[in-house]
Each structure stands twice: as structure tokens, then as C-alpha cells.
């Protein structure tokens, strides 16, 4: 029966997303199910029943008058290229690698001050020079990761800039993959936020011991925990975008746009520049927040950046989305 449903979705994929077409699709599915069950009761095999149903109800041109619809494909979807399942799998895999590289690069940038902090413990000029050099090396590696990540999706420019769509089975694969990965992303987000909150706890405990090296050790622990926490947050936020991007490819003005709920679709913006601005909004806010917090150590007030940023984000989103 799933084969029949998939075939029906393919038949109606480019039809206008109107109440009449949705009614006709539901009506035709009922007719196909009735015929399928009738053939099974007559002793036909599942393959024979499916083949008979498709041959009898599989021509939308012949059924258009009966169903009261226009069988011509919707004009807005004429030039959309249907992505294969292999293309979709490759895109998700490449996007995950890109997300990991970005997250690891961010972690190295935040982690880099740990080297000079530890170098100061030795109180030896040569060791301090080595540790400062390692700080710049880690930043250079992070920049290289950002560059590699930025070019890793070049071969998928067709998906990002041209009209594409997913068939029913591929949409279900993406939806199921997203639901399977969602618990992992939730754990990454929760652990990441937790680490960012408790990153000051080791500093409080170590400072209370009144050791000569307490400032260095507590500072190192703060940067280590914060870097790992931010890495987890950045990774889950970026990796989840691949599923939303794919699930938003099908035009909402066609039946194929109903393959997934609006909650799972990516927001469409008025132009590529607007999409780029919105994609880097929260990472930029995070960098500003961490920079101000670490430079001023005024954590009690720096959090006000987040509600202000949220208001600005909602305003920009309302103006820039389609």
C-alpha cells in the first residue's frame, strides 16, 4: 500500500495546492485503497494488486474530469529539478562535516588563550613564547577550517541557488533522519548551555584555595569549558539547518509542499544577501556577547545582549522574509 501512496504523491506533486486538488487527491486515494483491498480479497498477490491499481488509476489526464481538476502541472514548479536520494544523502553528509569544521574552528578560537595562560605558569620566557605561538597556530588552524567549511558545499550550489524539489519518498527519508538526529542535537544544545553556565564554577572553587597559580588555572578551566560548550551549540545549530533547507525546497504553492509541516521548513528570505545576514546573526551575537563578557568580566549585565538581539532578530526577520 505504501507503493500506491508514493505513486499518488508523485502524480500530484506539481498540482496546485488548492482545496479542490487536495480533495481530489484524498478521493483518489480512497478509490485506490478500495480497489487494492478488493483485489487482495480476490486472492491477488500484493504486487499484482499494486500493478492493477496503478494501471487503472495511474493516468491523471483520464481522471481529471471525474475528479474535477485540471491535470496540467502547476507553472511555478515546471523548472524544478527532482533531487535523487543519493544527492540528498551526500548533501546531509557534507553539511554535517561543514558544521563540525565550523564548530571546531570556533572552539579553537575560544580555547587559544589557554596556551599563554598555561605558559605564564612556567615563568620561563622561552616557554611563554612557545605557548603564545601555539595560540596563534590554533587561531590559524581555525581560520583554515572556516575557509574549508565555506567551500565544502560548492558542489551543491544547484540546491542552494536553483529551483529543486524532493519526491515523496525522499522527503520522508529527510523527515525521518531529522527526527532520528533531533535527540542528539537536543543533548548537544543542553550540554553546551550547561558548560557555558558552569564554566565559572572551577574558577570560584580554585580562587577560594588561595593558591599562587589560582588565577592561571581558573582562567584556563573557564576557557576550556566555555570552548567545548560553544562548540556543541554551534554544531547542533548548523547541522540541523541541512534538514530544514531540504524540507523547504518544495514550493508551498504545490501539493509537494505538504510533504512536511511548516515547522520543519527553512525560512525563505527576499534575496541571498538577506539570507546570509540572517544566517550569521546569532553567531555574531554570540561572539559579541563572549567578547564583551571576557573583556569586561561584567557577566551580571552582559546577558542583556540576548533579549535585545532577540527583538532585533524578530524585526529583521519580519522585514526580510518572503
pLDDT tens-digit map of 87-127 = 889 999 999 999 999 999 988 988 888 888 888 777 777 88
Last residue of a domain, one of 229, 249, 264: 264
Q: Identify whether 76 is part of a domain.
A: no
Q: Are residues 40 and 163 in the same domain?
A: no
Q: Are residues 216 and 242 in the same domain?
A: yes
**Strand partners of residue 16:** 254
The more confident residue out of 213 and 153 is 153
Q: How many domains does the chain have?
A: 3
Query: How confident is the model at residue 264, as a pLDDT?
Result: 47
**Strand partners of residue 269:** 321
C-alpha separations of 321 from 157, 245, 294, 306 in Å = 21, 15, 34, 22
Last residue of a domain, one of 12, 46, 68: 68
Q: Are residues 218 and 127 in the same domain?
A: yes
At 172, the pLDDT band (50, 70, 90 cuts) reads confident
C-alpha separations of 153 from 14, 94, 95, 164, 321 in Å = 28, 7, 7, 16, 23
- At residue 17, does pLDDT exceed 50? yes
The more confident residue out of 144 and 283 is 144
Cβ density class 46-65: b for 16+ within 10 Å, e for less: eeebbeebbeebbebeebee
* For range 153-162, the mean pLDDT: 79
Query: How confident is the model at residue 173, as a pLDDT?
Result: 86
Query: How confident is the model at residue 262, as a pLDDT?
Result: 46
Q: Are residues 246 and 110 in the same domain?
A: yes
- At residue 195, does pLDDT exceed 50? yes
Q: Residue 256: which of 12, 25, 73, 8 has the closest Cα?
A: 12
Q: Are residues 192 and 230 in the same domain?
A: yes
Distance CA 322, CA 316 (A): 12
Mean pLDDT of the chain: 77
* For range 55-60, the mean pLDDT: 66
Q: Identify whether 75 is part of a domain.
A: no
**Which distant-in-sequence residues (6+ apart) come within 8 Å of 40 by Cβ?**
46, 49
Q: Identify whether 74 is part of a domain.
A: no
Distance CA 277, CA 187 (A): 27
Range of the domain at 303: 267-322
Query: How confident is the model at residue 74, as a pLDDT?
Result: 46
Q: 82: part of which helix (H) or strand (E)? A: strand 81-82
Q: What is the pLDDT of residues 238-277, one digit of tens each?
A: 888 888 888 877 765 555 455 555 444 556 677 777 777 7
The more confident residue out of 284 and 115 is 115
Distance CA 22, CA 283 (A): 41
Distance CA 59, CA 238 (A): 42
Q: Are residues 97 and 166 in the same domain?
A: yes
Distance CA 257, CA 252 (A): 4
The C-alpha cell that represents 280 in the structure block: 550569521
**Which distant-in-sequence residues (6+ apart) come within 8 Å of 72 by Cβ?**
none
Q: Are residues 258 and 274 in the same domain?
A: no
Q: Are residues 106 and 244 in the same domain?
A: yes
Q: Are residues 130 and 184 in the same domain?
A: yes
Q: Are residues 121 and 44 in the same domain?
A: no
Dmax (CA) for the chain in angstroms is: 90
CA 322 to chain centre: 19
Q: Are residues 130 and 228 in the same domain?
A: yes
Other beta carbons less than 10 A from residue 209's beta carbon: 10
**Strand partners of residue 254:** 16
At 184, the pLDDT band (50, 70, 90 cuts) reads very high
Q: Identify whether 73 is part of a domain.
A: no
Amino acid at each position: 500500500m505504501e507503493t500506491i501512496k508514493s505513486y499518488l504523491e508523485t502524480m500530484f506533486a506539481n498540482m496546485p495546492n488548492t482545496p479542490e486538488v487536495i480533495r481530489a487527491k484524498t478521493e483518489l486515494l480512497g478509490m485506490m485503497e478500495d480497489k487494492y483491498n478488493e483485489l487482495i480479497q480476490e486472492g491477488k498477490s500484493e504486487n499484482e494488486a499494486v500493478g492493477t491499481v496503478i494501471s487503472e488509476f495511474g493516468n491523471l489526464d483520464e481522471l481529471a474530469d471525474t475528479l474535477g481538476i485540471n491535470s496540467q502541472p502547476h507553472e511555478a514548479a515546471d523548472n524544478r529539478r527532482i533531487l535523487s536520494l543519493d544527492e540528498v544523502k551526500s548533501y546531509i553528509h557534507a553539511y554535517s562535516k561543514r558544521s563540525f569544521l565550523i564548530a571546531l574552528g570556533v572552539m579553537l578560537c575560544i580555547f587559544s588563550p589557554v596556551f599563554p595562560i598555561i605558559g605564564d605558569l612556567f615563568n620561563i620566557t622561552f616557554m611563554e613564547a612557545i605557548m603564545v605561538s601555539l595560540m596563534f597556530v590554533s587561531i590559524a588552524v581555525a581560520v583554515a577550517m572556516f575557509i574549508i567549511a565555506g567551500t565544502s558545499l560548492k558542489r551543491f550550489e544547484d540546491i542552494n541557488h536553483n529551483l529543486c524539489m524532493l519526491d515523496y519518498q525522499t522527503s520522508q527519508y529527510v523527515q525521518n533522519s531529522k527526527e532520528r538526529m533531533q535527540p542528539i542535537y537536543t543533548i548537544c544544545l543542553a550540554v553546551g548551555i550547561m558548560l557555558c553556565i558552569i564554566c565559572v564554577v572551577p574558577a570560584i572553587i580554585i580562587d577560594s584555595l588561595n593558591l599562587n597559580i589560582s588565577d592561571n588555572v581558573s582562567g584556563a578551566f573557564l576557557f576550556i569549558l566555555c570552548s567545548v560548550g560553544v562548540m556543541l551549540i554551534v554544531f547542533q545549530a548548523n547541522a540541523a539547518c541541512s534538514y530544514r533547507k531540504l524540507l523547504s525546497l518544495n514550493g508551498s504553492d504545490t501539493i509537494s509542499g505538504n510533504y512536511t509541516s511548516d515547522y520543519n521548513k527553512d525560512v525563505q528570505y527576499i534575496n541571498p544577501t538577506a539570507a546570509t545576514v540572517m544566517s550569521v546573526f546569532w553567531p555574531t551575537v554570540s561572539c559579541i556577547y563572549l567578547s564583551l563578557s571576557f573583556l569586561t568580566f561584567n557577566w551580571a549585565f552582559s546577558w542583556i545582549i540576548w533579549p535585545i538581539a532577540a527583538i532585533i532578530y524578530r524585526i529583521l526577520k519580519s522585514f526580510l522574509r518572503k
